[in-house]
Structure 1
């Protein structure tokens, strides 16, 4: 059998039941004997044709007229649900494994939603709910929810991972994670602007946690300009859980000084004679 043998209403009812079941299981593990909601916003779940290597995805859907009004969207890859219903290759092989895989996928995406609601108010632009975030990865580890991203493999070699493994209650873990989130937010704010007066340089930096493919610090985009004789660089970094927060200042300066970025732009403002001279210099430099 294939998905063609199931009606849309039947599939949606099945997914809704699975979503509710997994939510209850997570709540029991995270907040035993407490009458609180796992999530405050609505969650929609559905099937979607995705890349064959992807089990599911999470989306934060914001209202067009009010960005503060959101709901969560979980997409399950068609083939994941198909094998859940029919087993591997449609032969009923390892059907139990397929059911566990689907449940774990839903749980994984629900934790994205949970971290968004619980931690993003501390720094919405940083993406604490993304796959490369140490906060998100910590909760997955505590709940024994799998992740196929490189970020999880790298995370297992960090001191944060060792600390997470020591916690026996989710509430105590969250106290640690809230402090950790504040540390990252404080460091990111501190590094937003780096002024090197002796070198006549200003660096403006933006950070966001990776989607799971970056474990350390990666330079994504840099924009360079000369304004009144001062070199200004605006930089975008993605960061993974393996980047040592205590060494982040040195890591950023190293990336900027070596100009290690995926994409580089030069914006040549010529407000002075010196700027005009620098324009021709910049055109021949790798900046």
Structure 2
């Protein structure tokens, strides 16, 4: 009868071996560990989230993290409960097969931990570099001879990123490739952070002449599961301003939009602007909030921020707290 201690010993043994293999692949002639942070591996029932493995980052303090890997109990059950069957063995299903399944999952989760440690802090505005749909994560994973069964991987294997991983030989080349890629992502997303139609206006008088004022704030992060560029959260506000200015009725339209975009595993930096221009005005975000407001008063009240506001309508499928979490 296999007890919990033996199951845990197997997990620890397989993880230690895999970490040493990856250390030699990445840092063959360097006296350093594969990961600097402490790492824990446990078995856990992951049926509810339908996963074979799970990675979690535990922040111990501002500068130190701990890695935690969970392996689904069913993988260990299959390994320890295996009984020889000649029909299964003919198609390669044996105890070694079930052991290799566990190793593949451990490798996948170790890749998450590695990307978290080495790249997540770089160009920090671009979050989720170690998510399953991130090109950064998948490039590192497949260079490490890893595997993923998420749907977006089918598209990733047809991408230039995947082709590049097959010709990158050394970790130093991989490291430079990833850094260069992150630099390009950062460069193009910073250009799209804030877009408005009054950028070239120099005086208050010129600004007052613009009847329809529009401002768009964009933030970007890597996707959890998708291959393309998609809106995750969007908050749009249409403000209609009716003010008295020297006994004259003035109407102005203010449109503001804050959008959180997800960069999928097949999106190259060179394509982001083109994809953004295609989707910015026509794609509905996964989570959204639309508001229309009417402002009535005098011109002095408008610029003093004391003008009366009436909310004409508000349509949303997301809680306000969620909007705040994503900095919209």
| Cα distance in structure 2, aligned partners of 1:237 and 1:101 | 34
- Residue 201 of structure 1: which of 203, 214, 224 is its match? 214
Residue number in structure 1 paired with 2:228: 216
User: Would the aligned equivalents of 1:133 and 1:210 in 2 still touch at CA under 8 Å?
Assistant: yes
The Cα of 1:283 is off from its aligned counterpart by 6.2
The Cα of 1:217 is off from its aligned counterpart by 1.1
Structure (1/2) with the larger helix percentage:
1
Where in structure 2 are there 5+ consecutive unaligned residues? 199-209, 242-252, 316-328
CA deviations on 1:146-182 (whole Å, 9 max, x unpaired) are: 1101232211222222222111212212111111111
CA deviations on 1:113-146 (whole Å, 9 max, x unpaired) are: 1011111111345211111121211122222211
SS of the aligned residue for 2:47 comes to coil
Distance change (3 Å), C-alpha of 1:88 and 1:31: farther
Residue number in structure 2 paired with 1:100: 100
| Cα distance in structure 1, aligned partners of 2:130 and 2:175 | 14
- Residue 244 of structure 1: which of 260, 264, 268 is its match? 268
Matches within 5 A, 1:1-287: 5-51=1-47, 53-63=50-60, 66-87=61-82, 94-124=94-124, 125-197=126-198, 200-211=213-224, 213-226=225-238, 229-272=253-296, 280=312
CA deviations on 1:239-258 (whole Å, 9 max, x unpaired) are: 21212322312322332211
| Cα distance in structure 2, aligned partners of 1:100 and 1:86 | 15
User: Would the aligned equivalents of 2:2 and 2:80 in 1 still touch at CA under 8 Å?
Assistant: no
User: Would the aligned equivalents of 1:122 and 1:185 in 2 still touch at CA under 8 Å?
Assistant: no
SS of the aligned residue for 2:280 comes to helix
SS of the aligned residue for 1:178 comes to helix
User: Would the aligned equivalents of 2:143 and 2:165 in 1 still touch at CA under 8 Å?
Assistant: yes
SS of the aligned residue for 2:195 comes to strand
The Cα of 1:105 is off from its aligned counterpart by 0.6
SS of the aligned residue for 1:234 comes to strand
| Cα distance in structure 2, aligned partners of 1:89 and 1:151 | 35
CA deviations on 1:4-52 (whole Å, 9 max, x unpaired) are: x543333323322221111011112222232211111011111111137
Scaled by the length of structure 1, the TM-score of the pair is 0.85
The Cα of 1:101 is off from its aligned counterpart by 1.0
User: Considering only aligned residues, what root-mean-square deviation do their CA atoms show, in Å?
Assistant: 2.8
SS of the aligned residue for 1:121 comes to coil
Where in structure 1 are there 5+ consecutive unaligned residues? none
| Cα distance in structure 2, aligned partners of 1:153 and 1:196 | 40
SS of the aligned residue for 1:106 comes to helix
SS of the aligned residue for 2:227 comes to coil
Scaled by the length of structure 2, the TM-score of the pair is 0.75
| Cα distance in structure 1, aligned partners of 2:308 and 2:284 | 26
User: Would the aligned equivalents of 1:83 and 1:89 in 2 still touch at CA under 8 Å?
Assistant: no
SS of the aligned residue for 2:43 comes to strand
| Cα distance in structure 1, aligned partners of 2:288 and 2:310 | 17
User: Would the aligned equivalents of 2:233 and 2:286 in 1 still touch at CA under 8 Å?
Assistant: yes
| Cα distance in structure 2, aligned partners of 1:18 and 1:180 | 32
SS of the aligned residue for 1:115 comes to helix
User: Would the aligned equivalents of 1:225 and 1:268 in 2 still touch at CA under 8 Å?
Assistant: yes
Find the structure with the greater CA-based Rg. 2
The Cα of 1:268 is off from its aligned counterpart by 4.4
| Cα distance in structure 2, aligned partners of 1:258 and 1:279 | 24
